[in-house]
Chain A
Amino acid sequence: MKILVAVKRVIDYNVQIRVKEDNSGVVTENVKMSTNPPDDNAIEEAVKIKESGKAKEIVAVTIGEDKAQETVRKALAVGADRGIHVKVDGLVEPLAVSKILKNIVEKEKPDLVFMGKQAIDDDCNQTGQMLSALLKWPQATFASKIEVKEKTLEVTREVDEGLETIEVNVPAIITCDLRLNEPRYASLPNIMKAKKKPLELINATDLGIDTKPRIEQIKVEEPPKRKAGIKVANVAELVNKLKNEAKVI
């Protein structure tokens, strides 16, 4: 089997987000960037499947500006064999991302496509589902457990009511939950080795796909702040406040 893993470069999850003064977006200059956390789970799962002997090749793909390449290099350092960087400047919506990925899938012909269930920047949670719609493939979203069988996968999905299990025929799209696995760290020797792995650069404009955003972002603001609360001295005071001041119990 061949697995394609899509990864996205986002503001690191530990960074305190700041909104730009002109309300045009959030500050990304001089801010630590990382791989979108559930995308790390996607790479890890692909590497585990390869280690079990059920996959032969892992290709990592990212879409974004020049620096997005770092995200592919990181995927190569934890076990992907080849990388693809589709260069696009500016914001790319999930619909355009899924059209680019469809193009890559048609060229690479993977059996499985893995990615995180949601990017922690735009919080859209769309790309995997959109890609599977465009390819007319099965979709297994929010995967927390994957069992690879002969021509199918059994996938346990995290849903609001608990857990759901579905079976999807290969080829399929899987979007990964944070609980799927524990992503490994890249060792220094592997980081060095990753620098020599092949990384193909493609310009999105050469693919003939319109990546202009369809949705107008009118403004980005800070959310309303909660007013500062108080510290109570003991449990009795807490219960008294809840009963008589907040009137919630």
Chain B
Amino acid sequence: MSVLLIAEHNNKDLKPFTLNVISAASQMNNDVHVLLMGHNSDTVAKSISEVSGVKKVIQVDNPIYENYLAENYVPVILKNSENYSHIVSAANTFGKNLMPRVAANLDVSQVSDIIKVIEPDTFLRPIYAGNAFATVKSNDEIKCVTVRPTSFEPAPSTGGSAEIVKADAAEEFSLTKFIKKEEVKSDRPELGTARIVVSGGRGLQSGENFKLITAVADKLNAAIGASRAAVDAGYITNDHQVGQTGKVVVPDLYIAVGISGAIQHLAGMKESRVIVAINKDGEAPIFSIADYGLEADLFEALPQFLEELNKLNTIQK
């Protein structure tokens, strides 16, 4: 029995988190097959075939898969699901939208957002915004699993030489139509994979003041994050949100500025290797999980921080 993994891509590039999911899948069973649905997606198929650990690429190329809709992906997955012990995807908005629709069709109780593979049928997953960890065992014949990508190392993108097999499209689902996607373009590292994240909260007081965060992030080549409070207040767009309902990040360094540390925010960043908190409220909960806490007014501390960083000869990229 093998693992069927659903690739996330934009017809040109494979989304990097797919590599992390390939690692997790290899721990369930080392015969990992990747299903790619797209349009004019040959370069993606080729790059998947080169990933270490991938044994087979199943490519379905058709205009109806140019944009991702779960309603169109699922019939293809079902058609190809025979002989697999596991169906796996990332626990991001792509996989969260997709996998339950697969599981319900197969009458399988899905295991969401795993952070560890204990046995091929037994997994560790956070519940209650990461305030408890549950060890769960799936007894369904096929296991439908979504994987928290940041909990697994990415599989090396080279070293593999899987065969690419073409497969047929399924019937189009005509009741849902893709209209548009507004992607936020940025030269910065992506929030989910950045080595350093600098995040701002309500303490910033305005969107304009986020330029203080931006300046530090530029200097450190960091991604910019935000608390839900800052996003809700309109200081910054939602794709920056870190937390239970936003993105989960695990950088080497997480700098929380003007963020009090609500449970739902901590759920998205508390596994970071080193956490820095800058907040003028010494009682803020963020200090209870920070490795280094600085009780200070961020409007004074951030410019000083930038100045001190400028004094350093080298900054790791």
Which listed residue, B131, B139, B182, B295, touches A216 by the CB 8 Å rule?
A: B139
Q: Mark B33-45, 1 if CB is under 8 A from A, else 0.
A: 0000000000000
Q: How many A-B residue pairs have CB under 8 A?
A: 257
Instruction: Verify A141–B96 contact, CB threshold 8 A.
Output: yes
**CB-CB under 8 A for A235 and B109, given A167-B179, A168-B175:** no
Instruction: Verify B183–A161 contact, CB threshold 8 A.
Output: yes
Q: Give how many B residues have a beta carbon under 8 Å from the other chain's beta carbons.
A: 91
A214 to B140, CA, bound (A): 7
A178 to B246, CA, bound (A): 10
A238 to B111, CA, bound (A): 41
Instruction: Verify B93–A160 contact, CB threshold 8 A.
Output: yes
Majority secondary structure, B binding face = mixed
**CB under 8 Å from chain A, chain B span 260-305:** 263-264, 270, 273-276, 282, 287-296, 301, 304-305
**CB under 8 Å from chain B, chain A span 148-173:** 154, 157-169, 172
Instruction: Verify A139–B107 contact, CB threshold 8 A.
Output: no
Which listed residue, B109, B181, B220, touches A161 by the CB 8 Å rule?
A: B181
A85 to B111, CA, bound (A): 26
Which listed residue, B112, B238, B245, touches A126 by the CB 8 Å rule?
A: B112
A122 to B132, CA, bound (A): 10
Residue of A nearest to B289 (CB): A226
- Is A191 in contact with chain B by the CB < 8 A criterion? no
**CB-CB under 8 A for A231 and B294, given A160-B239, A215-B111:** yes
Q: How large is the interface on A (under 10, 10 to 19, 20 to 34, 35 or more residues)?
A: 35 or more
Which residues of B pack against A, CB within 8 Å? Answer: 69-71, 74, 92-94, 96-105, 107-113, 122, 126-140, 173, 175-184, 192, 196, 220, 228, 231-232, 237-239, 244-245, 247, 252-253, 263-264, 270, 273-276, 282, 287-296, 301, 304-305, 308-309, 312, 315-316
